[in-house]
Structure 1
Amino acid sequence: MIGILRFCGFCIASIFVLLLISNLQSNVNTYTIPIVSNIENFVDSNVRLAKFDRFIMPTYGACSGIGNQMFRVASLYGIGKYFRRTPALDGTKKCQRDYMKEIKTTFPNFFDLVSLEIPHPNDTAKSEFGLDCCTYQDPKTMHDTNATWLVLRGNYFQTYKFFHEYKNEIVKLFEFSDGVKANATKYADELFKDDKSHKTCIHVRRGDFIKHENLETRPDFLLPAMTLVTNHLRANRSVSDISLVFIGIEGPYLASLNFTRSNYNKIYRASLKSRGEDMYFGVKYCDSILLSASASTFGWWIAYLASPTVPVFYNGQVGKDRNKYPKDHRDFDQFPPEWQKLELINGTVSFNDQWYYERFGMPRKPLAPLFY
């Protein structure tokens, strides 16, 4: 009798949440990607996203911001392709249901592909896969089951190696909506007018990072990095006319920065109406990118979704205490090797092509074994 009551309780709770989900995700039982007439020239209109009838899901510690959401889904997409499973998210989490409203207006393909699910306990398998937020694990080390839902213990999955081989599909997954494109294009036209100079975009993240273990944007890195990057572009890319475009920066902080503004054609501070518009603006209009707070997944995705011809430069130090921070230790899992790492050493910023373990002689730690 107790077992029956528990089962009925599960059913009632499930029905309630499913009603909320169905209200949000109506008419998405079949999945086809529309061909958009004004699609970006680096988005392949022939790419189709894989969709299966079984699911792969994370275990939530927190819903987190849009950049973290993108990492979670992109990685589950890559892992799921190996097991013929479609990414799904936890339909019982109010924060996730709320996020899907923003996802719908920003990334329609993401919204259409990824469903909110309530795994039935009798048809669910669990795995310890992905416990380390920032470490790549080969999906082949994990066994699949016949269960409809495979729930991984990991939450963040913040390494591009889970999905990089499917980059064309990831670009399609995160293709921006027509509304986001139109708003950002209108904003850029009004901001830049007839300025045809090279746009070096500098992504800035301070705010919540100031009291977080993530290293925020600081002037001691930012200012010499700006000089190094723009001098490098002039010397190696035959770029003579450069404008700086700051993304994510507050006006007073920009005004406080002490640098020679006359060295640049113009200085812009981009500030659009939504996070999706901010991201698309960076993806579309940056000719080169400097990530001054490398722990920002938002900035990371701007760089990753930009045209492959856009050079990317980033702060090699990710956390405030890099000796204790996993994203620093696993930097080779975080940043594509073609991105150019910058290091601040004794007040000077310079290029550095060594990973953390190479530079500091730290051995790679083995991963814990998997089990169900």
Structure 2
Amino acid sequence: MTAIGRNFFIFSFSIFLILFIQAILQERYTYKYSKIPTRFKCEPQKNHYHHHEEKYITLTFKTIRGGAGLGNQLFEIFALLGMARTLGRVPFFNEQDPSVVNNLGLLLETVPKAVDEFKILAITNRSLATVYRNSPACCMFEMHPLLKCETYQYVIIDGFNFQSFKYFENLKIRDFFTPSPEQKLKIDRKIKESSNTTCIHYQRGDFLLDNLHEGTNGTYLKKSIEFLRENYSTGSIYIFGNDPKWVQDLMENNDYKSEKIHIMNTPMKNALEDLHFSHQFCESVIITAPSSTFGWFMGYLSKNQRNVYYRDIYDTMDLVKHQMISADFYPPIWKILKF
């Protein structure tokens, strides 16, 4: 065997070994939800538990387990909170699923009030639990009609993402995003004007590499700035996203140099500040990457829902459009912004 062949073999074997170990660890530390049967009809309550016992509901929390971005995790936690309120159940994190319980750090930093609504408990008796399996599509509302009459003490919803505002329409989720005094002071320091503040969210980075999403287009971003100038001419424009250098290069043209355009540079670990900023100051928001969940929350938390605009995903090559029900993902009061 040549040196090149030997090195290739060692490299391939190393990759295989790493993936094998990861698979073993994932198997070891993930609760076996598949061991709990799925029910297909509502059955008499007396067969399952006493009337006075609390009823619980949880998700398999695939985005939290996988360490997905903040927007994806927020959708999961608020979807479960909304379902729990609708069904009269208590939301919980499964104590026997450490791959979820040990990955709550991002949510604890962002929405501790929401996390406090959850219990952490173990499913001590699997005969008292049932699983409902949802579609793997990202962006659709799916509440099984049998959930309202389900009598099992523990209900587990096995699905992906839960990216629909319809899960938590019954919640005032803005109440969960109250900044601490220290955070509020930092946000206040960012603002250059006290009124007529407009905001643009863009997304590049991972969206350019995953062969699924379409990142923000430079032309669309420029036209978004022009739209805000024409319709909100008296205020400042704040631009949020994950590649400020790209925006700076785009703004080099003198037509876009202005003291009223501010390119925000918020580290990912402090992304919560952008959501607080939108909640307190953004009179209008344009979402330039139509499948961005973080951009979605910037819009949803902004001050005036009638002034939230988004790019039409069906005018892009974004593959998420094939698993999205637009009416479930975008609130009807928001507006498509076409150029």
Which range, TM-score by smaller chain?
0.7 to 0.9
* SS across alignment from 1:325: helix
Q: 1:44 aligns to what?
A: none
Could you tell me which residue of structure 2 aligns to residue 311 of structure 1? 307
Aligned to 1:228: 227
Counterparts of 1:201-350 in structure 2, within 5 Å, are: 201-212=199-210, 213-231=212-230, 233-234=231-232, 240-258=233-251, 260-262=255-257, 265-271=260-266, 274-308=270-304, 311-317=307-313, 321-322=317-318, 325-327=321-323, 329-343=324-338, 349=339
SS of the residue aligned with 1:113?
A: coil
Structure 1 residue matching 2:100: 3-state secondary structure: helix
Change (3 A) 1:265 1:115: same
Q: Between Structure 1 and Structure 2, how many residues are aligned?
A: 282
Q: CA deviation at 1:118?
A: 3.2
Match of 2:174 among 165, 171, 175: 171
Change (3 A) 1:319 1:136: farther
Q: 1:98 to 1:227 in 2, by over 3 A?
A: farther
* Match status 1:114 vs 2:118: yes
Letter in 2 for 1:246: I
Q: CA deviation at 1:188?
A: 3.3
2:57 aligned partner:
56
Question: Are the aligned partners of 2:205 and 2:243 in contact in 1 as well (CA < 8 Å)?
Answer: no
SS at match of 2:313: coil
Question: Following TM superposition, by how much is the alpha carbon of 1:265 offset from its aligned partner in structure 2, in angstroms?
Answer: 2.5
Contact 2:305 2:334 in 1 (8 A): no
Alpha-carbon distance in 1 for matches of 2:329, 2:295: 13
The unaligned stretches of length 5 or more in structure 1 are 1-12, 18-51, 235-239, 344-348, 350-372
**Alpha-carbon distance in structure 2 between the residues aligned to 1:197 and 1:307:** 12
Structure-2 change in CA distance of 1:143 and 1:268 (3 Å): closer
Select the residue among 121, 128, 131 that pairs with 2:133. Answer: 128
Any conservation in 2 of the 1:129–1:142 contact (CA below 8 Å)? no
The question of whether the paired residues in 2 share the 8 Å contact of 1:288 and 1:312 is answered with: yes
C-alpha distance in 2 between matches for 1:266 and 1:308:
20
Q: Deviations 1:263-294 (Å, cap 9, x if unpaired)?
A: 66242424266122222122222121111112
TM-score by length of 2: 0.73
Post-superposition offset of 1:54: 2.0
More helix by share: 2
After superposing the two structures, state which structure 1 stretch, 311-320 or 106-115, moved more: 311-320
Is structure 2 residue 139 aligned with structure 1 residue 137? no
Label 1:338 to 1:276 Cα distance change in 2 as closer, same or farther (>3 A): same
Task: Kindly report structure 1 stretches of 4+ aligned residues shifted beyond 6 Å.
Answer: none
One of 44, 60, 68 as aligned partner of 2:72:
68
Flag the 1:105–1:323 CA change in 2: closer, same or farther, 3 A.
closer
Q: Please list every run of 5 or more consecutive structure 2 residues that lacks an aligned counterpart in the other structure.
A: 1-27, 32-52
Q: Is the 8 A contact 1:219 1:257 kept in 2?
A: yes
Cα pair distance change 1:191/1:134, threshold 3 Å:
closer
Task: After superposition, give the CA deviation of every residue in 1:122-172 in whole Å (9 maximum; x if it has no partner).
Answer: 2211112454332223443546433221011213111111221x142x333
Structure 2 residue corresponding to 1:161, chosen from 166, 171, 179: 166
Distance 1:191 1:135 in 2: 36
In structure 2, what is the Cα distance between the partners aligned to 1:138 and 1:122? 23
**Do the aligned partners of residues 113 and 143 (structure 1) sit closer, same or farther apart at CA in structure 2, a change above 3 Å counting?**
closer
